[in-house]
Amino acid sequence: MAGCHLAWLVVLLAVGIPLLEASPTGLNLPRLDVAAPHYGGSWASASSAIFTNLFKHSTPFECQSRGKGSTGAWGWGPGEALTWRPDGYPAEIRSLNSWSEYCAVARVGAGAAYYAAGKYVLLYSGDGKVTLEGDASVTAEGPGRLELSIKLAAGFAVRIVRTNATNPVRNISIVPAAAEFSFADTPYQASFLELVKGFDVLRFAWWQRIWGDARNPQMLRSLADRATPASATYLGKDGVSWQDMVTLANQVGADPWFNLPLAATDSDPYANAMATYVAQNLAPERRVYIEYGFAAPGWMTTEYPTNLVRVARIWRAAFAAAGLDSKRVVVVATYEVPAWIPYLSSTFGANISQVDAVAVVGSYGSYRSWNSNRPCFYEFSSNTFAQDPKNAGIDLDRVLQLARSSVIHADVLHNSWHQRLRAMGKRLIAVQAGPDRSQMAAAYYSMRQNYNNILGCKSYPCTRSGLFPPASSSSMTFATEAERNATLAQIWPQAQNEWRLDELLMQSL
């Protein structure tokens, strides 16, 4: 994408935007977990290619049970059989009856394994028994140390089958054998560090597991229960520890961008402790970007500016208390809907001086980024686009023509925002770049979904409901298989048009 005449900082996911003026380039660090629907499992799956200690990628512990003395498979276990420590390890495995035994289980590479095969060691503190199954097999065992052989297949399970309530199993680490005595000083895999080197800014929103605004429970954090390097996993509620995020920023020479939870008051323990830690440990040449939540809610209630200004005060005070320049703290107001930019002054009022920059979605072709009369990929997902006769001959050149038109429109619009903000003494930042991939798809809930729905008829008469436009009805009944097949033959060309459009859109990327 060329021709963007903006002096903005681009924080992007994968696609860069060449600029005429030199601007810092950043990276939205990816999620550490994949939601269950993505692979059909019942628990989160983690890409295990970031931390040297594979156990930081594990799912949180949960309870399982089986018959006492059994050597069979473990199954569901009642939550009340386990009590918990703040670090995510079980404090105690309780006996609830005389015929069952219980364990705490966590999984690494659940659903798909992304670690390197080879020799590993599992280290732990405390008194208890740890077992493994799946890709990991134990080759030697001693107190607090297991030697493992790990293959690359479908992940492995780590079970605490016994733990001493006065000295419980904790501090589990699973590291390559060669890194047994160095992993504490090298928390990140070398291959991951190579991927993120060269970026000027690292945005940690996904790693911090910060979603939305104050109405979301993820926005409420406790200092006592925060993630630390001793936490069992970084897939827990609070995500990755402050320590390891600051370590990464210092190690690769990038400015960290933190998304912050709700601070109830200016003396909020969590907010002040985090700000103080970063001020005291971030490399002196680095700045820190702070954002409240994860993009302002579109209705722009007073809650957003009030809380952003509060965390700005807390962080600037922490840097000043450490004898540092508070201007190293860059306060960012992030709007999911850029149409709110003209209301920035009225929204923040006298506190507008607390805001240093405004961040928006910098993609092109998104219906969310501008209001009307815009070249927008959203029309591709219309139920009727692929069926319109004028689009029957659509080809890659036509798709690219629309993309170029969207680029030009985005260029003009972003530049107008940039000029407005510059006049106010503010910077414009893009937290995403390139095409809005979420919009570049043919309608799924349309004829191809109807085709799959009707194909499900196995006995007759058969009624299929929940059909989508442009079907003539939301429900159809087929008396025979031949009748069903005739309908399938009729809608097949329309479904095929939608699949073909998806292929063109993928090619255009």
Query: Is the same domain home to 333 and 466?
Result: no
Q: Are strands 100-108 and 156-163 parallel, antiparallel or unpaired?
A: antiparallel
Q: What is the token pair recorded at 404?
A: 């170029």
Q: What is the distance between the alpha carbons of residues 470 and 498, in angstroms, rounded to a whole number?
A: 12
Question: Counting beta carbons within 10 angstroms of the beta carbon of residue 498, is it exposed (0 to 12), middle (13 to 18) or buried (19 or more)?
Answer: buried
What residue numbers bound the domain in which 467 lies?
Answer: 447-508
Q: Are 410 and 369 in contact (CB under 8 A)?
A: yes
Q: What is the distance between the alpha carbons of residues 261 and 185, in angstroms, rounded to a whole number?
A: 28
84 phi-psi bin (left φ>0, alpha ψ -120 to 50, beta other): beta
Please choose, from the candidates 159, 172, 157, 175, the residue with its C-alpha nearest in 3D space to the C-alpha of residue 120. Answer: 175
Query: Is the same domain home to 103 and 85?
Result: yes
Query: Is the same domain home to 264 and 386?
Result: yes
Query: Is the same domain home to 246 and 149?
Result: no
3-state SS, one letter per residue, for 203-254: ECHHHHCCCCCCCCHHHCCCCCCCCCCCCCCCCCCCCCCHHHHHHHHHHHCC
Question: Counting beta carbons within 10 angstroms of the beta carbon of residue 55, is it exposed (0 to 12), middle (13 to 18) or buried (19 or more)?
Answer: buried
Please give the model's pTM, rounded to 2 decimal places: 0.82
Q: Domain count of the chain?
A: 3
Q: What is the distance between the alpha carbons of residues 226 and 492, in angstroms, rounded to a whole number?
A: 54
Facing residues of 465 across strands? 475
DSSP, res 296: B
Query: Is the same domain home to 261 and 386?
Result: yes
Q: Are strands 255-260 and 33-34 parallel, antiparallel or unpaired?
A: unpaired
Query: Is the same domain home to 482 and 335?
Result: no
Query: What's the residue count for the chain?
Result: 509
Query: Is the same domain home to 303 and 401?
Result: yes
Domain membership flag for residue 428: yes
The CB density around residue 15, as the number of other CB atoms within 10 Å, is: 14
Q: Are strands 462-465 and 475-478 parallel, antiparallel or unpaired?
A: antiparallel
- All residues at 6 or more sequence positions from 241 whose CB lies less than 8 Å from its CB, including other chains: 226, 227, 228, 229, 231, 234
Domain membership flag for residue 145: yes
Q: What is the distance between the alpha carbons of residues 428 and 6, in angstroms, rounded to a whole number?
A: 8
Query: Is the same domain home to 239 and 322?
Result: yes
pLDDT string in tens for the chain (509-residue length): 332 222 223 443 333 333 334 578 888 888 887 543 333 444 444 568 899 999 999 989 999 999 999 999 999 999 999 999 999 999 999 999 999 999 999 999 866 677 889 999 999 999 999 999 999 999 999 999 999 999 988 889 999 999 999 999 999 999 999 999 999 999 999 999 999 999 999 999 989 988 766 667 778 889 998 999 999 999 888 899 999 999 999 999 999 999 999 999 999 999 999 999 999 999 999 999 999 988 766 555 678 889 999 999 999 999 999 999 999 999 999 876 666 777 788 888 889 999 999 988 777 776 554 444 455 666 777 777 777 877 777 888 888 887 888 888 888 888 888 888 889 999 988 887 777 766 777 787 889 999 999 999 999 999 999 999 888 899 999 999 999 999 999 999 989 888 888 888 888 77
Domain membership flag for residue 244: yes
Query: Is the same domain home to 427 and 504?
Result: no
